[in-house]
């Protein structure tokens, strides 16, 4: 295991080298320090790519196009299992935006 910042620095290097790629991170974290998780993303330099939670599509709205995301450099989608982090840290609550396919 390694600290999350090391992995996020690898993500930052990848995104810098691949300016038209989109990265999605789904994280289950146990960070209880206020803004602790977003601070790690900032320290790793990936916050500049973060898709803002306030721009996430609401029910019945269309998702952004890949072209729009690339043009706005909002190429990092981050989702979390903690609904409180959406309002507190701007990390999208996964269950609000993702659904499982029924088989």
Reported confidence tier of residue 5, pLDDT bands at 50, 70, 90: very high
Rounded to whole angstroms, the Cα distance separating 46 from 96 reads: 23
Q: Kindly give the pairing relationship between strand 23-27 and strand 76-80.
A: parallel
* pLDDT (mean) for 75-81: 95
HSE toward the beta carbon, residue 101, CA cutoff 13 A: 1
Q: Rounded to two decimals, what is the model's pTM?
A: 0.88
Beta strands in the chain (DSSP E): 23-27, 76-80, 92-93
Rounded to whole angstroms, the Cα distance separating 38 from 78 reads: 10
What tens digit of pLDDT does each residue of 23-65 get? 999 998 888 888 888 999 999 999 999 999 999 988 888 889 9
Beta bridge partners of 93: 80
């Amino acid at each position: 295991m390694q600290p999350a910042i090391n992995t996020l620095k690898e993500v930052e290097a990848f995104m810098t080298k691949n300016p038209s790629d989109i990265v999605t991170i789904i994280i289950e974290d146990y960070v209880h320090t206020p803004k602790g998780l977003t601070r790690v993303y900032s320290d790793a330099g990936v916050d500049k790519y973060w898709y803002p939670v306030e721009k996430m599509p609401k029910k019945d709205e269309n998702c952004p196009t890949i072209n729009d995301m690339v043009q706005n450099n909002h190429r990092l989608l981050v989702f979390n299992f903690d609904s409180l982090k959406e309002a507190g840290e701007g990390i999208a609550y996964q269950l609000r935006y993702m659904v499982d396919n029924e088989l």
